[in-house]
């Protein structure tokens, strides 16, 4: 058996403690799998006296994660501090500069500095592993980087934020409003007091930028993502989706197009009975659409101490076995500049909900504006209450259009024309349909 | 860039041709990912003149796969001949003996000789990779061996045979009989002229024995699997399952129990809306139930030239990068003897369909026999036609029992007692329920 691999953990919260427990519990199995003993020898944390959910007695303690990263007491540095800058970035750079391999769960750090960190790691012949940064316990990084190494990937998309999926699932299952579900999620600890990062789609976008880099061999560009959150999804949309055989999910989608790589995060209509539509609650799921394998879907826990620790420990085990892949599959210097496909060129079907006065000709006016731009409609239906049944004459009714595949810019133009016509007063709700 | 990796392919049928095409098409990307050029330099086949769906001009040709395996013209041997013995086994042994790495899709060979081949590979510091042998394009071997390296696995189960899943899906969707669907599957090329190997559960069992070894670190023991095929599943069962919120799938299940490792292949009731229940048609799916990750499901194509080639090429890429894991995760000499948990000790819920005379007391007699053995019933329902409605008095009716978790041997005893009582004339249909 080779020499012991000495691990230092920076940040011993829920995930850090779970990593320490898992390494201790699986000590024998990991030694048998990797040929090396793996032990935690040191850790860093802000508060030395804090009660922790792991036995770290006998470990060297550091308050400064960079001092831990540079310490001769460790061979491998596990960064679980979080944040794109500050101590997380500094300590990861320190570890790599010292030729120590790094395992991190920090999606913000990778989204901001992943490419330069990968280059540094490669230069120092160290590993930089980040399975835990995307979709928690789902081994999606390994799958994209290694499991599908022979494929040309066309599209990767998924449910990457458990908070949003929990809220959308509850809205559908219990007929509750977005606000009610968000407040429940906050009570249960599934959502932060300030939920913007999750429900606004920004967390999904960070993760998507990492997946896109792995899938397409491009530099990480979180700023090149079109982002819409789930705040505007109403119960009316969810009910209409259900009637039409769809579910609404917040998806992150990255896909190759003739115009470049399209990266987008938005509420999406997915057809029921597809694997991703059936993923409810806090689970995550990722589907990969590629030339050889056709379609592969992975479903599992996207968060939680133990599930995230599962991914961290798998990375540690690979490093213990001596595996040194380029962090993003291809060498950092070979990553291409991302050419951003403009969102207005997006092609797909659309769900459009409009509030239309119940007067003769209103339907015809809308349909005409669509037809003028060559947008063909799969269906047009009235939603929420029969026409004229106990309602004021001429009061608005909900109208739902489902389009066949068309272009984003045509849809936007048609909606502008409809608004200019004056019949529709409130903004349209537009939700993109993701093809299977 | 390191030296070129020269690949020899033994058996150039659908999969072999797809591997050659994929290696050529992805040549540049693979060189960038692995740091080496990967080229096919030689192949073997029975018929030198046969038209093939890949350009192998310039490759050296062999009729004897063992001669190819021993040839100095190749560094890596891809075995796609099939069969547990004969040329497949001989050529793989030859390649390993010569210190050449082997990639194979041959589940029968692995089920029969996997452990000794792994030991030989380890001794020669060669790789033995077999991602394509289980569940086609789904990277389940990598996931179990590497992606979940930090987990203690409790159970692994899945839909591992597309033919069976296609038949069961069609029976449900179109209300057709088993025989009708089998004959359609044969016409479409999804089932062999002699379908026994697929529908009898033997193909699933081979694959399951490989998964169990990876999951539990035990020697492969296909003979220690309890196997039932789908031949006895009727439309009545499928309809009753649907009414009760279940689907019937042919699952391979391997799980740790207090009595050892339980390995079984049988038609199984799985609750609708679980990821595995939603897998329809020729797709495969595997769910892993483990301590850290909790539950992970992978869904994808289980067969087909391109999907299988995707797995073969991923293995080739790993080998090109210099990755040398023990084929079964832990060194072959460390694999434990499998202790077979006896099927009669199996614990779980049961679906039982009986044909019962429609006379007073029949229900009570059955319920009593169950209760005597402490089997508690979740439901007892009559199926297929209302009692007495246009039927002969006393003619048998279908009765369906769903039990809470109990033991296989208690169920068998209760059914024997019910038969001894004389009211039930035909054998009971018993389908195990798989808990989530």
**CA neighbor of A106 nearest in space, from A125, A88, A87:** A88
Question: Any binding-site annotation on A15?
Answer: yes
Reduced to 3 states (helix: H, G, I; strand: E, B; else coil), residue B297 is strand
| Concatenated DSSP letters of A95-127 | HHHTT-EEEE--HHHHHHHHHHHHHHHHHTT--
Tell me: do A95 and A200 sit in the same domain. no
φ, ψ of residue B385 in degrees (nearest 5):
90, 135
Q: Are B373 and B413 in contact (CB under 8 A)?
A: yes
Chosen domain end from B301, B329, B362: B301
Question: Any binding-site annotation on B356?
Answer: no
CB distance B18–A292 less than 8 Å? yes
Confidence of residue A393 (pLDDT cuts 50, 70, 90): low
Chain segment B158-216, per-residue pLDDT in tens: 999 999 999 999 999 999 999 999 999 999 888 888 899 999 999 999 999 999 999 99
Return all residues near A49 (Cβ < 8 A) that are at least 6 apart. Answer: none
When divided into structural domains, chain B yields a total of 3
User: For A308-325, what is the mean pLDDT?
Assistant: 95
Position A387 scores a pLDDT of 47
Confidence of residue B247 (pLDDT cuts 50, 70, 90): very high
**CA neighbor of A283 nearest in space, from A269, A303, A268, A310:** A303
Q: Does A110 map to a domain?
A: yes
Tell me: do B297 and B157 sit in the same domain. yes
Q: What is the token pair recorded at A224? A: 């090149």
**With pLDDT > 70 as the criterion, what percentage of chain A qualifies?**
97
CA pair distance B78, B320, nearest whole angstrom: 13
- Interface check B320 vs A, CB under 8 A: no
Partner residue facing A292 (CB), from B151, B296, B309: B309
Q: Which residue of A has its CA nearest to B330?
A: A33
Q: Are A350 and A387 in contact (CB under 8 A)?
A: no
CA pair distance B371, B392, nearest whole angstrom: 30
User: From the centroid of its chain, how far is CA A260?
Assistant: 20
* Contact residues, chain A, for B142 at CB < 8 Å: 139, 142-143, 146-147
Q: Does B329 map to a domain?
A: no
Return all residues near B224 (Cβ < 8 A) that are at least 6 apart. Answer: B261, B263, B338, B340
Tell me: do A276 and A151 sit in the same domain. yes
CB distance A146–B293 less than 8 Å? no
Domain that holds residue B424: 344-433
**Chain A nearest C-alpha distance from B354 (Å):** 32
**With pLDDT > 90 as the criterion, what percentage of chain B qualifies?**
84
Partner residue facing B293 (CB), from A291, A296, A301: A301
In sequence order, what are the beta bridge partners of B283?
B301
Question: Any binding-site annotation on B16?
Answer: yes
Chain segment A62-81, per-residue pLDDT in tens: 999 999 999 999 999 999 99
Reduced to 3 states (helix: H, G, I; strand: E, B; else coil), residue A290 is strand
| A124 pLDDT higher than 60 | yes
What CATH number is given to the structural domain containing B423?
A: 3.30.70.260
Q: Does A173 map to a domain?
A: yes
| A390 pLDDT higher than 70 | no
Which of B141, B292, B333 to mutate to test binding with chain A, by most A CBs within 10 Å of its CB? B292
DSSP B336: B
> Which residues of B belong to the active site?
207
**Chain A nearest C-alpha distance from B247 (Å):** 13
Q: Which residue of B has its CA nearest to A306?
A: B292
CB distance B151–A26 less than 8 Å? yes
What CATH number is given to the structural domain containing B14?
A: 3.40.50.720
CA pair distance B93, B87, nearest whole angstrom: 10
CB distance B297–A300 less than 8 Å? yes
Least confident of A412-416, B47-51, B258-262: B47-51
Position A413 scores a pLDDT of 97
Tell me: do A65 and A165 sit in the same domain. no
| B316 pLDDT higher than 70 | yes
ipTM of the complex: 0.95
| Concatenated DSSP letters of B221-267 | -GGG-EE--STT--HHHHHHHHHTTEEEEEEEEEEEETTEEEEEEEE
- Interface check A258 vs B, CB under 8 A: no
Partner residue facing A294 (CB), from B275, B294, B301: B301
Q: What is the token pair recorded at B118? A: 């792994």
Question: Any binding-site annotation on B118?
Answer: no
CA pair distance A88, A113, nearest whole angstrom: 11
Mean pLDDT score of chain A: 94
| A395 pLDDT higher than 90 | no
Tell me: do A127 and A155 sit in the same domain. no
**Chain A nearest C-alpha distance from B286 (Å):** 10
Q: What is the token pair recorded at A192? A: 């932060």
Q: Which residue of B has its CA nearest to A284?
A: B296
Tell me: do A116 and A153 sit in the same domain. no
CA pair distance A113, A27, nearest whole angstrom: 33
Q: Are B248 and B238 in contact (CB under 8 A)?
A: yes
| A388 pLDDT higher than 60 | no
**Chain A nearest C-alpha distance from B303 (Å):** 10
- Interface check B402 vs A, CB under 8 A: no
Tell me: do B171 and B196 sit in the same domain. yes
Return all residues near B407 (Cβ < 8 A) that are at least 6 apart. Answer: B344, B345, B346, B347
Confidence of residue A1 (pLDDT cuts 50, 70, 90): low
Contacting A residues, span 147-166, partner chain B, CB-CB under 8 Å: 147-152
CA pair distance A316, A327, nearest whole angstrom: 14
Confidence of residue A386 (pLDDT cuts 50, 70, 90): low
Q: Are A340 and B326 in contact (CB under 8 A)?
A: no
Position A363 scores a pLDDT of 83
Which of A150, A154, A214, A331 to mutate to test binding with chain B, by most B CBs within 10 Å of its CB? A150
CA pair distance A318, A102, nearest whole angstrom: 12
- Interface check B27 vs A, CB under 8 A: no
CB distance A296–B294 less than 8 Å? no
Contacting A residues, span 100-139, partner chain B, CB-CB under 8 Å: 131, 137-139
Chain segment A180-216, per-residue pLDDT in tens: 999 999 998 888 888 999 999 999 999 999 999 999 9
| B370 pLDDT higher than 90 | yes
Q: Which residue of B has its CA nearest to A296?
A: B300
Partner residue facing B33 (CB), from A279, A290, A330: A330
| A285 pLDDT higher than 60 | yes
Tell me: do B174 and B255 sit in the same domain. yes
* Contact residues, chain A, for B280 at CB < 8 Å: 273
Tell me: do B121 and B198 sit in the same domain. no
| A360 pLDDT higher than 80 | no
Tell me: do B65 and B167 sit in the same domain. no
Q: Does A348 map to a domain?
A: yes
Question: Any binding-site annotation on A11?
Answer: yes
| A242 pLDDT higher than 50 | yes
User: For A361-374, what is the mean pLDDT?
Assistant: 90
The sign of the torsion formed by the CA atoms of B396, B171, B206, B52 equals positive
User: For A344-372, what is the mean pLDDT?
Assistant: 90
Q: Does B184 map to a domain?
A: yes
Q: Does B46 map to a domain?
A: yes
Least confident of A95-109, A380-394, B227-241, B275-289: A380-394
Tell me: do B170 and B117 sit in the same domain. no
Chosen domain end from A301, A317, A334: A301
Q: Does B324 map to a domain?
A: no
User: For B420-431, what is the mean pLDDT?
Assistant: 90
Q: Are A12 and A54 in contact (CB under 8 A)?
A: yes
CB distance B299–A300 less than 8 Å? no
CB distance B150–A23 less than 8 Å? yes
User: From the centroid of its chain, how far is CA B393?
Assistant: 46
Question: Any binding-site annotation on A323?
Answer: no
CB distance B326–A33 less than 8 Å? yes
Chosen domain end from A301, A336, A367: A301
Question: Any binding-site annotation on B192?
Answer: yes
Tell me: do A35 and A85 sit in the same domain. yes
Q: Are B307 and B314 in contact (CB under 8 A)?
A: no
Position A114 scores a pLDDT of 97
Question: Any binding-site annotation on B88?
Answer: no
- Interface check A56 vs B, CB under 8 A: no
* Contact residues, chain A, for B32 at CB < 8 Å: 217, 330-331, 334
Q: Does A334 map to a domain?
A: no
| Concatenated DSSP letters of B15-81 | HHHHHHHHHHHTHHHHHHHHSS-EEEEEEE-S-TT---SS--TTSEEESSHHHHHH-TT-SEEEE--
CB distance B296–A151 less than 8 Å? no
User: For B411-433, what is the mean pLDDT?
Assistant: 93
**CA neighbor of B301 nearest in space, from B281, B278, B321:** B281
What CATH number is given to the structural domain containing B211?
A: 3.30.360.10
Q: Are B320 and B27 in contact (CB under 8 A)?
A: no
- Interface check A296 vs B, CB under 8 A: yes
Chain segment B69-124, per-residue pLDDT in tens: 999 999 999 999 999 999 999 999 999 999 999 999 999 999 999 999 999 999 99
> Helices (DSSP H) in B131-273: which residue ranges?
140-142, 162-174, 178-187, 196-199, 202-216, 235-243
* Span between the terminal Cα atoms of chain A, in Å: 48
Q: Which residue of A has its CA nearest to B300?
A: A296
């Amino acid at each position: 058996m080779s020499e012991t691999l000495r691990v230092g953990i920076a940040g011993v919260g829920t995930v850090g403690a779970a990593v320490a427990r898992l390494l201790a519990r699986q000590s024998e199995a990991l030694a048998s799998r990797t040929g090396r003993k793996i032990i935690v020898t040191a850790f860093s944390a802000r508060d030395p006296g804090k009660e922790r959910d792991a036995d770290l007695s006998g470990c060297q303690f550091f308050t400064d994660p960079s001092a831990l990263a540079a310490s001769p007491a460790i061979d491998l540095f596990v960064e679980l501090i979080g944040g794109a800058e500050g101590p997380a970035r500094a300590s990861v750079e320190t570890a790599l500069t010292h030729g120590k391999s790094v395992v991190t769960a920090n999606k913000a750090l990778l989204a901001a500095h992943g490419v330069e960190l990968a280059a540094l790691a490669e230069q120092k012949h160290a590993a930089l592993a980040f399975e835990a940064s995307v979709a928690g316990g789902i081994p999606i990084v390994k799958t994209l980087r290694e499991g599908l190494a022979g494929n040309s990937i066309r599209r990767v998309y998924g449910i990457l934020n458990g908070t949003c999926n929990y809220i959308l699932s509850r809205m559908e299952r219990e007929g509750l409003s977005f606000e009610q579900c968000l407040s429940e999620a906050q009570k249960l600890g599934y959502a932060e007091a300030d939920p913007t990062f999750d429900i606004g789609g920004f967390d999904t976008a960070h993760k998507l930028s990492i997946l896109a880099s792995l899938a397409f061999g491009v530099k990480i560009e979180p700023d090149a993502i079109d982002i819409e959150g789930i705040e505007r999804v109403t119960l009316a949309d969810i009910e209409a989706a259900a009637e039409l055989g769809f579910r609404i999910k917040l998806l992150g989608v990255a896909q190759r197009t003739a115009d470049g790589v399209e990266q987008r995060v938005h509420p999406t209509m997915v057809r029921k009975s597809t694997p991703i539509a059936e993923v409810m609650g806090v689970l995550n799921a990722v589907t990969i659409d590629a030339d050889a394998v056709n379609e592969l879907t992975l479903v599992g826990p996207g968060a939680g101490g133990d599930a995230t620790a599962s991914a961290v420990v798998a990375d540690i085990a690979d490093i213990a076995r001596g595996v040194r892949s380029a962090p993003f599959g291809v060498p950092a210097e070979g990553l291409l500049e991302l050419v951003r496909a403009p969102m207005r060129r997006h092609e797909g079907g659309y769900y459009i909900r409009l509030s239309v006065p119940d007067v003769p000709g209103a339907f015809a006016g809308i349909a005409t504006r669509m037809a003028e731009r060559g947008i063909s409609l799969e269906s047009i239906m009235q939603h929420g209450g029969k026409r004229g049944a106990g309602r004021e004459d001429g009061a608005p009714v909900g109208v739902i259009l489902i389009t066949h595949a068309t272009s984003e810019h045509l849809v936007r133009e048609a909606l502008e024309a409809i608004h200019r016509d004056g019949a529709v007063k409130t903004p349209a709700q537009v939700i993109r349909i993701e093809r299977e």
